[in-house]
Chain A
Amino acid sequence: MGLKINNLTKSFGTGDIETQVLKGVDIEVKEGELVILKGASGSGKTTLLSIIGGLLGRSGGEVSLNGENYLDIKEKALTSMRLKEIGFIFQSSHLIPYMKVIDQLTFIGEQAGMSSKNAKIRAEELLKEIGLGHRLKAYPNVLSGGEKQRVAIMRAWMNEPKMILADEPTASLDAQRATEVMEMIRDNIKVKHAVGLMITHDERLFGYADRIYTLDDGYVADEKMDKKELIYN
């Protein structure tokens, strides 16, 4: 079980201007695993993540989560899946400026069908868990970059998703904050038996991954490489 990607392809444009970004990607991420996806700029990492997240259509291949081939379901169902089963963490926190910290989470919970009361209880638990219990009523504009990103991570966990997709979640953070955030993401994935796929260029964070894939020229390379090998070579 977990995430399985088989022979995934993606092309942009047609005819002479057709560009094939993904030429047949195969990736497997098991439950409780955090896999890092690296690659040069323009190699198609975000395209891959967007397809897995149901935000972009694919040209060919299969993507399944816990055995369910979900990309061909109707748009409405896919939106609902993004809400309930996929947690997104972006490079920037992308918090809603007019919502208090606690509301950033309760809104997502209520959208997924949670009662206001239960959403509030869960949001408080999650925020206290990451040391933001004293910031529940604060607006994003008074939070530090690290605090914002921690709120964004907990927003992704609010509906207990089966899969976390993160696109350079530590890019805007200093080293210490980046380490904290990585530990938080990894620990949550382990404890909650979720699937984690993360794009990052930061080699200091490779040690947190169970496996590392490199996307190069539309194919996945180095998938067999052990993380220790990467760190020490």
Chain B
Amino acid sequence: MKLALKELKFYKFKYVLVTLILFLLAFLVLFISALAQGLAKENISGIEAWNQEQFIISEGVDDSLTQSDISEQMDQIEEVTIEGHNIEFSRNTIDATNSNIDIVFTNTDENIAPVADEGRFPETSDEILLNYKLTGEGYEVGDTVKIKDSDTTFEITGFTEDIMYSHTSMAYVTDGGMDRLDSSSIAAVALPEDTNGISEEINNIEDVKMVSNDVIKNAIPSYQAEQQPLNLMIVFLFIISAIVLSAFFYVITIQKSSQLGILKAIGTKNGELVKTILVQVILITLVGVVLSIGIMFTLNTVIPVSMPFYLNTSLMMTVSGLFLAVAFLGAILSLVRIVKIDPLDAIGGE
């Protein structure tokens, strides 16, 4: 430990540079991860907010909730299950101050609907709860939203965070509220789980099928298209980090091979030298990652609400843990080198 700290202190510049590179890599990984999470939230947060495992939807609509319409089959469905929550969907456009905004209206019952983060849930047919992102358009509780090309208006009673479907903000209204909208229909019946093994019976109903939560999410075209390249970038960044760290520590170890050989010759155990490298790797990684987390949190407070950017503790912990693992992997070459150093090479011989 002492050896590791003394070396870090003496060669400040060299190790500050390594830390800086690690910080930049960690920052990039965190930024892209937060972006990926933000984009994921924009696609599927509305579905996740329901916290349901199974959905009964129309067949032949590519598992898309917005295209699904099971209104006609509801009598047959209700004969099979009584535990489901009916989900009505209606895609509409509202007149906003600067532009028109598409909104997915839904009326899911309060048992599975999200809690209002600001204000309250709608109680009458002319009230509406909006996705928090719309506050970026200047909307506040008490304001009125107007459906485009129609006289229908709703008064905003509250906002809640992260209710989006396929990059479209969602809005909750009452059953009466849904009736005031054109083209509303029952898109799905949500079930907490297939507890009674009813999937076979449901699938036997014409033009209806039961699918899992994941199927619904993956059916959103933008979700997979966005997540795959971003996740690939994150994986590559981790690989690059491992290679960069590996190269740095290996070169540094080669540079001090002679010193390490002398230390071994005078009786320093391999374990002590291995510990030295590990302490340095862990310290440099932690400083780099903690710095990047600090910058990310600062950034999170200034980034506009409309930007798809989502930062949470579990993401931070995961990335920090992965970086430590990657740094450890990168240090393995150096550790092998240390163990193989022959003290005789350091002191010379005939």
**CB within 8 Å of B: which residues of A?**
21, 41-47, 50, 53, 55-56, 76, 79-84, 86, 88, 90-91, 94, 96-99, 103, 107-108, 110-112, 139, 155-156, 167
Please, how many angstroms separate the alpha-carbon atoms of A97 and B6 in the complex? 10
Contact of B350 (CB < 8 Å), options: A43, A103, A112, A156:
A43
Tell me whether B349 is interfacial, beta carbon within 8 Å: yes
CB distance from B87 to the nearest CB of A (A): 66
* B146 part of interface (Cβ distance < 8 Å): no
Docked-complex contact B266 and A50, CB < 8 angstroms: no
CB distance from B321 to the nearest CB of A (A): 30
Q: A56-B344, A94-B346 are in contact. Are A88 and B265 (CB under 8 A)?
A: yes
Complex partner residue of A84 from B267, B344, B347, CB under 8 angstroms: B267
Q: Are A55 and B350 in contact (CB under 8 A)?
A: no
User: Given A79-B269, A83-B267, A107-B2: A94 and B344 within 8 A (CB)?
Assistant: no
Q: Which 9 A-B pairs have the closest CB atoms?
A: A83-B267, A98-B10, A82-B267, A94-B262, A46-B349, A46-B350, A98-B7, A55-B343, A98-B6
Decide if A76 touches B269 in the complex (CB within 8 Å): yes
A-B contact list, 5 entries, CB within 8 Å: A42-B350, A76-B269, A82-B266, A97-B10, A110-B2
Interface size on B, residues (CB 8 A): 25
Chain A residue nearest to B261 (CB atoms) is A94
- Per-position binary interface string of chain B over residues 317-350, scored 1 when its CB falls under 8 Å from any chain A CB and 0 otherwise: 0000000000000000000000000011011111
Candidates B9, B263, B266, B350; contact of A44 at CB < 8 Å: B350
Q: In the complex, which of the residues B9, B11, B268 contacts A111, with contact meaning CB atoms closer than 8 Å? A: B268
Complexed CA–CA distance, A56 and B266 (Å):
14
Residue of A whose beta carbon sits closest to that of B258: A94
Q: What is the CA–CA distance of A50 and B261 in the complex, to the nearest angstrom?
A: 13
* Nearest CB in chain A to that of B5: its residue: A98
What is the distance, in angstroms, from A90's C-beta to the closest C-beta of chain B? 5
Q: Is the CB of A107 within 8 A of B267?
A: no
Q: Is A46's CB under 8 angstroms from B348's CB?
A: yes
Residue from B6, B9, B259, B348 within 8 A of A91 (CB atoms): B348
Q: State the CA gap A180–B343 with chains docked (Å).
A: 28
B residues 251-283 in Cβ contact with A at 8 Å: 258-259, 262-269, 272
Minimum CB–CB distance from A131 to chain B (whole Å) comes to 23
Decide yes or no whether B239 CB sits under 8 A from chain A.
no
On chain B, the residues within 8 Å of A45 by CB distance are 350
Check B3 for interface membership: any CB of A closer than 8 A: yes
The answer to whether A111 and B267 touch (CB under 8 A), given A46-B349, A46-B350, A55-B344, is yes
Q: Is the CB of B267 within 8 A of A90?
A: no
Chain B residues lying within 8 Å of A50, measured Cβ to Cβ, are 344, 347, 349
Do B267 and A79 have beta carbons less than 8 Å apart?
yes
- Closest residue of A by beta carbon distance from B3: A107
Residue among A44, A46, A80, A91 making CB contact with B267, cutoff 8 Å: A80
> From residue A203, how far is it (CB to closest CB) to chain B in Å?
20
The residue of chain B having its C-beta at the shortest distance from the C-beta of A94 within the complex is B262
Report yes or no: A90 in contact with B350, Cβ–Cβ below 8 A: no
Distance from A137 Cβ to chain B, minimum over Cβ atoms (Å): 13
CA–CA, A83 and B265, complex, Å: 8
User: Which residues from A are CB-within-8-Å of B348?
Assistant: 46, 91
Additional A-B contact list (12), CB under 8 Å, known A44-B350, A97-B10: A43-B350, A47-B349, A50-B347, A55-B347, A56-B344, A80-B269, A82-B267, A98-B6, A98-B10, A99-B3, A108-B266, A156-B266
